[in-house]
Amino acid sequence: MSIPRNLGDFVSRTGAAERPLIIGLEFDGSARVMSRGAFDALADAFARGLLKRGIRRGERIAILAANRPEYVAVFMGAMRAGIVPVPVNFKFPATTIAQVIEDCGARLVLHDAERLAALAGRAPGVARVSFDGEGEASLAAWLDPGPFVPRTPEPGETALSLYTSGSTGRPKGVLLSHDSHLWVAKTRMEETDLSGERVLIAAPLYHMNALALAILVCASGATAVMLPQFRAVPYIEAISTHGCTFLTAVPPMIAMMLREKETLARADLSGVRMVRMGSAPVNESLAGQIRTLLPNARIINAYGTTEGGPIVFGGHPDGRPAPMGSVGYPHPQVAVRLVHGETPDTGVLEMKSPAIMLGYHNRPDVSSPITPDGYYSTGDVFRRDADGFHFFVGRADDMFVSGGENIFPGEVETVLESHPDVLQACVVPVADEIKGQKPVAFVVRRPGASLDEAALKSYVLANAPAYQHPRRVWFLDQMLLASTNKIDRAALRQRAEAEFKPVTAS
């Protein structure tokens, strides 16, 4: 298969046009199948329609909707026309959604019915186009059926823009080129043959994880089984009913699945051959639960960022198995280094690869994270073992000082999660008059476990420096999640600050 120059045209056209490309599921159990031929026809028709309506090459369109097959088709179609699609996080507050639409300069916003309310009285002058229905304000009215020859991008031309979560300020528009994500898809295809696989996508398409996977499905000849959003019961049922073989997940998703005992008892999950875990490394306790849940699946700890792409680490060149908790050995086509650490084997990860962003859109107020020699500074702290395997420690800006000691929440979470009755942990600081800040923890127990606060605190004291032990532990049925399905550390910190009352002097 020759590699196209335009990312929107990276679709495998081997085999019959009737081959299912995306199976879109609804929460009522219904399904809509979009064939590869129908997908191409819709993408071409949308590309033609955008240009016919006067949207020019390099201009933006926003997409504000839950996952659905048409989302991917119009996303790819816009890029075919040289127009930049901007997936928008619909879990943002309505004011932030309007800010993103204004900031990117979108000429139109494609939305589903549920998200229309977020646009009420906002984003004036931007055309609103519904995925559903008929009439002038519908997607159907913007289609111009017929073949389309994709535009050939200039070197470094922007293909798409994704906005950061805004956890550290106003969301930033990350500009990504055609070349960068053609390289991502091509490289992933060379390493993992997904042709014929059933890939379950439930993470939101406004996030790099799901979007890059959707592009990979199009390019590789796989079939995507797509849920509008993640919900544990429909997710389990989708694996079983549609024979899904490849999953991507984050630890909170697995933890929520484990609670659905009745659904799991009815489901057949034996066909899953690979699960790619992101956002946080898998601990031994969670890995054991995943092996029980998905007995035939290989578990891969993955690491990536919007700015730097999803390819950073991989397998060891000597074939050595990755230790539990490691995200792998540096990928052979990616240069990495650890800087500003206390030792040569610890520090903030900087990386260089063809997937690195072009820059941030319209943000002269933000210092570029690209170093003068072309490395992207991730802001994530890692450690490296003697074999070159890398382990995520935590965000540099999550580090806090307690009584003069630097505490990385990830290090304390690793100790907590090494307890056999702990599935997940999140450590945050609370203010302290004497020590400045102290660690406290939120924990999800393993199903059926009866671990209490005193026992867990004693366990940490026995297995880590005393200054790291959490002064309070709160147990949750499930972690609070941010819009990217990662643990919402900021919300948990607010909760801790509201609830914290020291129980003993320390």
Give the type of residue at 487.
Answer: I
Split into its structural domains, the chain has a count of 3
Mean pLDDT, all residues of the chain: 91
The answer to whether 338 and 351 have CB atoms below 8 angstroms apart is no
Q: Are residues 423 and 388 in the same domain?
A: no
Q: Are residues 492 and 384 in the same domain?
A: no
If you write DSSP's letter for every residue of 470-490 in order, what string do you get? Answer: -S-EEE-SS--B-TTSSB-HH
pLDDT tens sequence across 281-319: 677 777 888 888 899 999 888 899 999 999 999 999 999
Residue 296, token pair as written in the block = 């035939």
pLDDT at 506 over 50: no
Q: Are residues 383 and 417 in the same domain?
A: no
Per-residue pLDDT, 273: 95
CATH number, residue 362: 2.30.38.10
Per-residue pLDDT, 484: 65
Residue of 330 and 255 predicted with greater confidence? 330
pLDDT at 166 over 70: no
Q: Are residues 352 and 494 in the same domain?
A: no
Q: Are residues 220 and 127 in the same domain?
A: yes
Indicate the residue among 363, 396, 429 that finishes a domain: 396
Average pLDDT over every residue of 166-188? 89
Q: Are residues 374 and 437 in the same domain?
A: no
Range with the lowest mean pLDDT among 40-49, 99-108, 190-199? 190-199
pLDDT over 70, % of the chain = 97
Q: Are residues 482 and 365 in the same domain?
A: no
pLDDT tens sequence across 52-99: 999 999 999 999 999 999 999 999 999 999 999 999 999 888 999 999
Confidence tier at 1 by pLDDT (50, 70, 90): low
Q: Are residues 82 and 212 in the same domain?
A: yes
Enclosing domain of residue 149: 7-229
Pairing state of beta strands 198-201 and 223-226? parallel
124, exposed or middle or buried, with CB in 10 Å at 0-12, 13-18, 19+? exposed
CATH number, residue 196: 3.40.50.980
Give the type of residue at 37.
Answer: G
Indicate the residue among 381, 396, 411 that finishes a domain: 396
pLDDT at 36 over 70: yes
Q: Are residues 11 and 86 in the same domain?
A: yes
Range with the lowest mean pLDDT among 81-90, 278-287, 435-444, 488-497? 278-287
Q: Are residues 391 and 407 in the same domain?
A: no
Average pLDDT over every residue of 147-153? 97
Task: Give the Cα separation of 370 and 349 in Å (integer).
Answer: 12
The total of other beta-carbon atoms located within 10 Å of residue 243's CB is: 14
Q: Are residues 367 and 448 in the same domain?
A: no
